Structure 1
Amino acid sequence: MKKLILVLSLLVPSLAMAATGHSVHLDKANIDLTDKASLQSGAQTFMNYCLGCHQMQYQRYQRTFEDLGIPLVLGQENLQFTGEKVGDYITNNMAPKAAAKWFGATPPDLTLVARVRGVDWIYTYLRAFYKDPSRPWGVNNAVFKDVGMPHVLQELQGLPTKTYEKHMVDGEMVERYVGIKGDGTGRLNQEEYDKVVLDLVNFLAYMGEPSRLEAESIGRWVLVFIVILFVFVYLLKKEYWKEVH
């Protein structure tokens, strides 16, 4: 029963997201977990823009640096900002009660967010903020309506706005939503910003399953072993049963 409850607890968020996300087009996040440069860039973006609110309390700095090919000294100097030891978990100093008061809810831990939400959802979400003066932080999100999170990457992207085009329908002029357009105030152009987001999503995907590449490699060798073993087992079976047949 405990196992069943655990499985259901993991499935419910995903099912709820699927039930509410049919009307949202998700852009494809073509991540590559073998691209160390992309993973390093994503780690840098996360530590600089996300860690202030979102923790990764199930992953250690040292494991991250080693997997991503970042020298420990370099990682400590550039990616650790509050005096943690290299063997510590990736956490921040934000008090949960204060965070809940500021944002309406405590910002979630992001260690497994890529496995729960999916990389396409995160990639689209981080590129879907737009100006909305009615919201507490002045922004809303086309993927996550009335989100309580500020646009933390606004420095890079700028402050996009929703754009509409006028069309004649049955003799009447109507406006149709066509997407979100940047205002040019960010440090990056759209292509550069999309690359930064893709690298961040790649890093989050790695964090959700750090041993994935190793497991896939071992899995391939296991399949090869099973195929070879099957040949020998089949020949042995023929040898044992040849007199019976």
Structure 2
Amino acid sequence: MKRLLSILALIGATLGGLAAAPVTAQENIPLDRAPDNADNFASLQHGAQIFVNYCMGCHSANLVRFSALQQLGISQKEIEQNLMFTTDKIGNTMSIAMRPDDAKAWFGAAPPDLSVISRAHGRDWLYSYLRGFYRDDTRPTGWNNLVYENVSMPNVLWQLQGERTAKFEEETDERTGEKVRTFAGYQQVTPGTMSPVDYDSAVADLVAYLSWMGEPTQKFRQQLGVWVLLFLGLLSFFAWRLNAAYWKDIK
């Protein structure tokens, strides 16, 4: 029961954060479709590695245990050697050492837990968001985001992607006559350690892992649902034939 309440609380908090995001950023910017790597264990394993190395410095996943990563084909030994800190145990949740009070003082708000972030925002939003960072000297962190305007999170993957700026143009809205700023593309400033294609692939792996983490039993649930529907269909057929046999002699 406590776990259920925690899940509901996290979903509510994440949805609240989404509602606070600028509406114009999401209305004006189309989202890119995220590749579906849900069945690709290599992609999920790489995504787990990126999450631990780049995201867990600030973000926790308190509803997921390290031992659950074994479902992705990662052995306990590999988890302990490559994905855990020395103080963690295989049965521990993926929590972080940073205290919420310190995080609020440093960033203005505590970074959200990412256990169910994919269920609140969706894969396409996450994929577009993680690929939408650009340099903006007017922001406290030096970064802004095309999907989530004026976000307080910096681009933690900037070494992989490199630094780039965004180009905007002003156009006049024909209906209102007001000036509207439209996105006109990115300009690469410094190269990253990955090519643009490789970076997009790495982000797709991370998004696939975040989606899996939001519901580790999703595939099993879908497969079970198919069998349940088949069973109900077969049961309905037998019930129909039984009903016909029962009433055949009654005129």
Q: TM-score range by the shorter chain?
A: 0.7 to 0.9
Instruction: Give the RMSD, CA atoms, in angstroms.
Output: 2.5
SS at match of 1:22: helix
Residues 93-132 of structure 1 mapped to structure 2, 5 A cutoff: 93-132=97-136
**In the superposition, relative to structure 1, how do residues 98 and 71 fare at CA in structure 2: closer, same or farther (>3 Å)?**
same
Task: Please say if 1:148 is aligned against 2:152.
Answer: yes
- Which consecutive aligned stretches of 4+ in structure 1 deviate over 3 angstroms post-superposition? 6-20, 164-167
Q: Secondary structure at the match of 2:221?
A: helix
Amino acid at match of 1:39: L
1:42 aligns with 2:38: no
Cα distance, 1:183 vs. partner? 2.5
Partners of 1:157 and 1:186 within 8 A in 2: yes
Query: Match for 2:113: what amino acid?
Result: D
Contact 2:162–2:189 (CA<8 Å) still a contact in 1? yes
- Distance in structure 2 (CA, Å) of the matches to 1:161 and 1:29: 23
Aligned-residue offset at 1:17: 5.9
Instruction: Give the deviation of 1:70 after TM superposition.
Output: 0.2
For 1:108 and 1:166, locate their aligned partners in 2 and report how far apart those are by CA, in whole Å. Answer: 34
Instruction: Give the gaps of 5 or more residues in structure 2.
Output: 1-7, 172-180
Q: Larger deviation: 8-17 or 102-111?
A: 8-17
Say if 2:37 and 2:204, in contact at 8 Å, map to a contact too: no
CA deviation profile, 1:18-72 (whole Å, cap 9, x unmatched): 95521121111022211000000100000000001000000111012x2110011
Equivalent AA in structure 2 for residue 139 of structure 1: W
Q: 1:28 aligns with which of 12, 29, 33?
A: 33
What does residue 232 of structure 2 align with?
A: 226
Please state how far the C-alpha of 1:196 moved relative to its aligned partner: 0.5
Within 1, Cα distance between the matches of 2:237 and 2:39? 33
Identity of aligned residues (%): 40
Deviation of 1:239 after TM superposition, in Å, equals: 1.5
- Give the aligned partner of residue 178 of structure 1: 184
SS at match of 1:85: coil
Count of aligned pairs between the two proteins: 233
The question of 1:206 aligning with 2:205 is answered no
Which residue is equivalent to 1:170? Answer: none
Contact 1:128 1:180 in 2 (8 A): no
Summarize deviations over 1:137-159 as a string: whole Å, max 9, x none. 11111111111111100110111
Q: 1:182 corresponds to which letter in structure 2?
A: Q
TM-score of the two chains, using structure 1 as the length reference = 0.87
Q: Is 2:126 aligned against 1:87?
A: no
TM-score (normalizing by structure 2)? 0.85
- Decide whether the 8 Å contact of 1:55 with 1:92 is kept in 2: yes
| Alpha-carbon distance between aligned partners in 2 of 1:116 and 1:44, rounded to the nearest angstrom | 22
**Structure 1: distance between partners of 2:209 and 2:120:** 15
Return closer, same or farther for 1:15/1:162 CA change in 2, 3 Å cut-off.
Answer: closer
Q: Measured at CA, do residues 166 and 242 of structure 1 come closer, stay the same or move farther in structure 2, by a change above 3 Å?
A: closer
Preserved contact between residue 133 and residue 143 of structure 2 (Cα < 8 Å): yes
Per-residue Cα deviation, 1:207-240 (whole angstroms, up to 9, x for no partner): 1111000011111111111111111111111111
Deviations 1:154-191 (CA, angstroms, capped at 9, x unpaired): 11011111135799xxxxxxx96412233243101111
